[in-house]
Chains A and B, each alone.
Chain A
Amino acid sequence: MRSLFVALFTMFMTIPAWAEVKIQEVTSPGGITAWLVEDHSIPFTALELRFRGGTALDAPGKRGAINLMTGLLEEGAADLDARAYTRALETLAATFGFSSGTDQLSISTRFLTENRDDVIALLYDTIHAPRFDQDAIDRVRAQVISGLKSDAKDPNAIAGKTFREMAYGDHPYATDGNGTIETVSGLTRDDLLAAHQAVFARDRLYVGAVGDITAEELGVYLDQLFGDLPETGAPMPGMAEVNIDGGITVVPYQTPQSVAIFGQPGIDRDDDDFFAAYIMNNILGGGTFESRLMDEVRRKRGLTYGVYSYLVPKDRAAVYMGSVASANDKVAEAIDVIRAEWVRMQTEGVTAKELQDSKTYLTGAYPLRFDGNAQIAGIMVGMQMQGLPIDYIATRNDKVNAVTLDEINRVAAELLDPDKLRFIVVGMPEGIETGTN
């Protein structure tokens, strides 16, 4: 049956013009660059700072040092011990979030205009004068170790660990950035100071600010915060060699539902074919209810609550991954269906209608991401780290629309490689065992 609604509304199907996100590039008097969106309608600012490198900068034998150091940034600075520091932050009604990933350390802040000077002062001390008091080290270390013990019994974490170790050889990507119980137990205060020096440097800093702040005000704060940062830190690690051979790895674990992640070599963010690959992935398993994987594995067969695929272009390696969870007696069928969809996409590509629907979705959904000061600040820092031009937002949907059917089907044939698709299954799956294609 042809739907009433589609008939009624087809005439309005073009996506409207979106409000422009006006990004300015701000260069401070001291030469530090940031991207800024001024919006004075609400009296607060979201300031996002990222330092490239992340946990991949851990020194040999010191795995987990940068993660532990990151956890200690909110445990005291200058003459404020951990408790005084938190009380100061609460009094200012600001939030500081600290996180370390494989490629970057992030500091996400939010503060009211009326408290801005004091918040910047506290942020300065946080970055430049963390205390690393021994009692704080011991307390946070115990939390990290508790998390590592939990990961050791978490099927998703077990799957991720198994995949990393298989795919990345002796690169830092092959091991958990949180470290192991052994390495974390052995970390000293000197190791944390070294980790601090490795990360915080001007040559790897990216800044985004959104909200109630002018370019001139931001420039002054940039110099205050970063004027006396060292020029450089630890050298960046080399590229990782991705080694994935197709097949299934079963990690036996007593739990009712098997958790599977799957992956094969991927595509770099700056590859000319990235947009085609991105759209292809949206059609295959990229997060909507309409994707082929959701349609085949969930909607038609009821084998899972969710199945997804995602491109993972890290700084030093690119993989193409996915995940699914299915009861132990059903996961074999789920894997068969996913593999069949991998082959179908590689050999048959997508239809013109699928391509058009995906473009409409992706171009329409793009502006929905810009729905708050912190979100926009995060997106702007991501753009800088990827080396995208400042007008990228305005041109991005044109790049999506420019991808042709021939292009996407060529990229699907080149990128997808069922022979190199490896499934890691954690659970007690019935009817499958470890093997290589």
Chain B
Amino acid sequence: MFRTTRAVALVVAGLAAPVVAEGVDDQVTTYTLDNGMEVVVVEDHRAPVVQHMVWYRAGSADEPRGASGVAHFLEHLLFKATENLESGEFSQVVSANGGNDNAFTSYDYTAYYQRVAADRLELMMSMEADRMVNLRLTESDIATERDVILEERNQRTENNPRALFREQMGATQYFNHRYGVPVIGWKHEMETLDLDDALSFYDIYYSPNNAILVVSGDVDPDEVHELAKTYYGAIPANPELPERFRTKEPPQTAARRLSFEDPRVAQPYVSRSYLAPERNSGDQEKAAALYLLSELLGGGTTSYLAEKLQFDTQVAVYTGAFYNGGTLDNTTFDVVVVPSDGVSLEEAEAAMDQTLVDFIADGVDKEQLDRIKMQLRASQIYARDNVDGIGNRYGRAMAIGLTVEDVQAWPEVLQNVTGDEIIAAAREVLQRETSVTGWLMRDEEMTQ
């Protein structure tokens, strides 16, 4: 019989050899069209498939006040008629060519994509370029599609107390910035969205100088460049495109708390968010430290919160820490503790706070940091199996103002972060004054 225990013990004692990711950058070609549209091509010739995506630097945080949800509403409406296509025909043509298509909206961007046989790229490009400028909406499109997005909100948010709670947390974190308004919109404003709201957003933001084309798969970068010039290059830049400007948060000087009660809550928990800096072009070090902080604190069963609250003590059934620096403006660093049966939210919150204090006092466990960095290096190899994922990473980064160089530098920036830098980032960000603490609670009605 094959004996194994010893082999594993050896591995645990000495770290495995470092992994060097090679060839990731080699797959990527970038250029800019004369009208300002940026193009990213990621090559993978293992299967004759292509993903074609267009990202617009326009998301829900760019919406005018009073029209929350219009960015996402417009995303739905882009599947209606254009000068050249009937309503619904875009997706029909993609299907008839054996492809899939969809779109998504976030705070900072809206993106459209199709996955299809590589020799259908030109058809996809011609249709996507068409709907960048030739949308022809009717009042009847508005009425039925508005009902659809209201049902989408019902499904994602109204039917889910955790989602309603997150909305309240976000609205409490941001007093003056649009990240405090949900991407899908407030229900009462969604109900009033009309044709003018949709078209004015479309006219301002849907233009080549506000867009990024990302093509990944079995393609030749030069051929993609030629096609992009033909279809997207023919569209004039919009000279009226405004500078991307958002209202900024004032200094946050008071810890905030809220409790959200709902009879549909089965498992109460404590959620904490802190205002935190995001990734910026040429300046990603602090964001990298915060990402590693989230992994060290709450990235899995070997993380500090899990060790202290799930293993050493049984305060929690689940703990986690989260940081997403992929935003245009200030983001949040989040911690969540789901208490064990019999542990109150007050006790869970106290234990969470004590653990955060202890983490900073203890300093970073070097072996744990090395394991996380090792996994990050390995993830670059695994990522090569998902070329669309690489394309998405570029599109998302460029939509929030990062450059190709920033994306390519990011893995090394992560590797160079030290334990001291992580503790310094923790001290800076984990501040009561910029925090929101939320309790998601059962609605304890007195019904006899």
Binding site for B on A (CB under 8 A): 1, 3-6, 8-9, 12-13, 15-16, 18-19, 39, 41-44, 78-80, 82-84, 86-88, 90-93, 110, 112, 114-115, 117-118, 121-122, 124-125, 138-139, 142-143, 145-146, 149-155, 224, 227-228, 254-257, 259, 288-290, 295, 298-306, 325-327, 330, 357, 360-368, 370-374
Contact with A along B234-261 (1 / 0, CB 8 A): 0000000000000000000000000000
Q: Give the distance in Å from the alpha carbon of A301 to the alpha carbon of B338 in the complex.
A: 41
B144 touches A301 (CB 8 A): yes
- Evaluate contact between B12 and A364: CB separation under 8 angstroms: no
Q: Can you pick out 10 interface pairs between chain A and chain B where the beta carbons lie within 8 Å of each other?
A: A5-B93, A8-B126, A16-B48, A79-B9, A86-B300, A114-B19, A146-B318, A149-B266, A256-B158, A289-B79
Task: Give the chain B neighbours of A154 by CB distance below 8 A.
Answer: 266
Asked if A15 and B117 make an inter-chain contact with CB atoms under 8 angstroms apart, the answer reads yes
- CB-based contact B88/A299 at 8 Å: yes
B266 A368 Cβ-Cβ under 8 A:
no
Residues of B within 8 A of A370 (CB): 47
A84 vs B12: C-alpha distance in the bound complex, in angstroms?
8
Number of B residues with CB within 8 Å of any CB on chain A: 86
Query: Judging by beta carbons under 8 Å apart, are A298 and B148 in contact?
Result: yes
Q: Out of B1, B10, B89, B97, name the residue touching A3 (CB < 8 Å).
A: B89
Q: Which residues of B contact A289 (CB under 8 A)?
A: 79, 88, 91, 95
Nearest A-chain residue to B370, judged by Cβ: A91
Instruction: Return A357 CB to nearest CB of chain B, in Å.
Output: 6
Interface centre among A79, A330, A372 (most CB of B within 10 A): A372
Looking at the assembled complex, report how far the CB atom of A222 sits from the nearest CB atom of chain B, in whole angstroms: 11
| Interface residue? B354 (CB, 8 A) | no
A302 in complex: contacting residue of B17, B116, B147, B378, CB < 8 Å: B147
- C-alpha spacing A113/B314, complex, angstroms: 38
Q: Which chain B residues lie closer than 8 Å to A303 at the CB level?
A: 147, 151
Closest to A327 in B: B154
Residues 265-305 (chain B) with a chain A CB within 8 angstroms: 265-267, 300-302
Q: Which residues of B contact A371 (CB under 8 A)?
A: 47, 49, 386, 388
Given contacts A41-B46, A124-B2, contact A88 B11 (CB under 8 A): yes
A124 to chain B: which residues have CB within 8 Å? 2, 4
Q: Tell whether A87 pairs with B317 under 8 Å between CB atoms, given A82-B301, A290-B91, A290-B92.
A: no
Knowing A110-B382, A299-B88, A373-B385, the reply to whether A360 touches B98 (Cβ < 8 A) is yes
CB distance from A324 to the nearest CB of B (A): 10
Nearest residue, chain A, Cβ from B17: A114
Closest to A139 in B: B310
* Chain B minimum-CB-distance residue to A254: B263
A309 nearest CB across to chain B (Å) = 17
State the Cβ distance, B121 to closest chain A Cβ, in Å. Answer: 11
Where the two chains meet, the residues of B that have a C-beta atom closer than 8 Å to any C-beta of A are 1-2, 4-5, 7-12, 15-17, 19, 46-49, 79, 84-86, 88-89, 91-93, 95-100, 115-117, 119-120, 123, 126-127, 130, 143-152, 154-155, 158-159, 263-267, 300-302, 307, 310-311, 314, 317-318, 338, 340-341, 371-372, 374-375, 377-379, 381-382, 384-386, 388
Q: A4-B84, A142-B341, A365-B99 are in contact. Are A300 and B381 (CB under 8 A)?
A: no
Q: Is the CB of B98 within 8 A of A42?
A: no
Q: B151 to A327, Cβ gap below 8 A?
A: yes
Residues of B within 8 A of A357 (CB): 92, 95-96
The docked-state distance in angstroms from the alpha carbon of A150 to that of B151 is 23
Chain A nearest CB: distance from B424 CB in Å? 25
Contact (Cβ within 8 A) A150 B148 = no
Decide if B302 touches A83 in the complex (CB within 8 Å): yes
Given A90-B374, A325-B151: 11 more A-B contacts, CB < 8 Å? A5-B123, A19-B47, A43-B381, A93-B16, A146-B338, A228-B1, A255-B158, A256-B159, A326-B151, A365-B100, A370-B47
Q: What chain B residues lie within 8 Å of A3 (beta carbons)? A: 84-86, 89, 93
Q: How far is it, in angstroms, between the C-alpha of A128 and the C-alpha of B102 when the chains are bound? A: 44
Is B5's CB under 8 angstroms from A368's CB?
A: no
The CA of A364 and the CA of B47, in the complex, are separated in Å by 13
User: Contacts of A227 on B, CB cut-off 8 Å?
Assistant: 1-2
**The one of B89, B143, B264, B311 that contacts A153, using a Cβ cutoff of 8 Å:** B264
Q: How far is the CB of B425 from chain A (nearest CB, A)?
A: 22
Is the Cβ of A224 less than 8 Å from the Cβ of B7? no
Contacts of B8 in A (CB 8 A): 78, 80, 88, 118, 121-122, 125
Residue contact A92 to B11, C-beta cutoff 8 Å: yes
Residues from chain B with Cβ under 8 Å of A9 in the complex: 93, 123
Give Cα A325 to B5, complex, Å.
51
Taken together as a complex, chains A and B put the C-alpha atoms of A364 and B310 apart, in Å, by: 48
Contact B16 A91 (CB under 8 A): yes
B2 pairs with A224, CB closer than 8 A: yes
Shortest Cβ distance from B218 into A: residue: A19
* B10 contacts across to A, CB distance below 8 A: 118
A43 to B23, CA, bound (A): 12
On whether the beta carbons of A88 and B317 are closer than 8 Å, the reply is: no
**Contact, CB under 8 Å: A305 / B16:** no
Determine if B119 and A12 form an interchain contact, defined as CB atoms under 8 angstroms apart: yes
Contact of A114 among B16, B155, B159 (CB under 8 A): B16
Residue numbers in A under 8 Å from B11 (CB-CB) = 88, 91-92, 115, 118
A364 close to B148 (CB less than 8 A): no
Q: Are B371 and A87 in contact (CB under 8 A)?
A: yes
In the complex formed, the residue of A with least CB distance to B442 is: A153
* Shortest distance between the CB of B103 and any CB in chain A (Å): 11
Would A18 and B144 count as touching, CB distance under 8 A? no
Is the Cβ of A42 less than 8 Å from the Cβ of B384?
yes
Complex CA–CA separation, A402 to B284 (angstroms):
56
Contact call B385/A300, Cβ cutoff below 8 A: no
Minimal Cβ-Cβ distance residue in B for A366: B98
Q: Is the CB of A90 within 8 A of B264?
A: no
Asked if A93 meets B19 with Cβ closer than 8 Å, knowing A3-B85, A18-B48, A86-B301, the reply is: yes
Nearest CB on A from B382, distance (A): 6
Q: How far is the CA of A142 from the CA of B115 in the complex (A)?
A: 42
Q: Contact partner of A78 among B4, B93, B154, B382, CB < 8 A?
A: B4
Give the 9 A-B CB pairs with smallest separation, nearest first: A364-B98, A302-B147, A93-B378, A121-B4, A257-B154, A302-B144, A305-B152, A121-B7, A153-B266
Residue numbers in B under 8 Å from A83 (CB-CB)? 301-302, 307, 311
Closest Cβ neighbor of B80 among chain A residues:
A299
Q: Across the interface, do B148 and A304 meet the contact criterion of CB distance under 8 Å? A: yes
Q: How far is the CB of B62 from chain A (nearest CB, A)?
A: 23
**What residues on B are CB-neighbors of A4 within 8 Å?**
84
- The residues of B that contact A373 with a CB separation of less than 8 Å are 385
Q: What is the bound-complex CA distance between A329 and B342, given in angstroms? A: 39
Q: How far is the CB of B442 from chain A (nearest CB, A)?
A: 9
Tell me the bound Cα distance from A79 to B146 in angstroms.
59
Most chain B CB within a 10 A radius of its CB, from A5, A41, A325, A363? A5
Contacts of A374 in B (CB 8 A): 385
Q: Is the CB of A365 within 8 A of B98?
A: yes
**Cβ of B385 and Cβ of A42 under 8 Å apart?**
yes
Q: How far is the CA of A109 from the CA of B231 in the complex (A)?
A: 43
B151 contact from A39, A139, A304, Cβ within 8 A: A304
Chain A hits for B48, CB < 8 A: 16, 18-19, 367
Q: Bound complex: CA of A22 vs CA of B12, how far in Å?
A: 37
Taken together as a complex, chains A and B put the C-alpha atoms of A305 and B386 apart, in Å, by 29
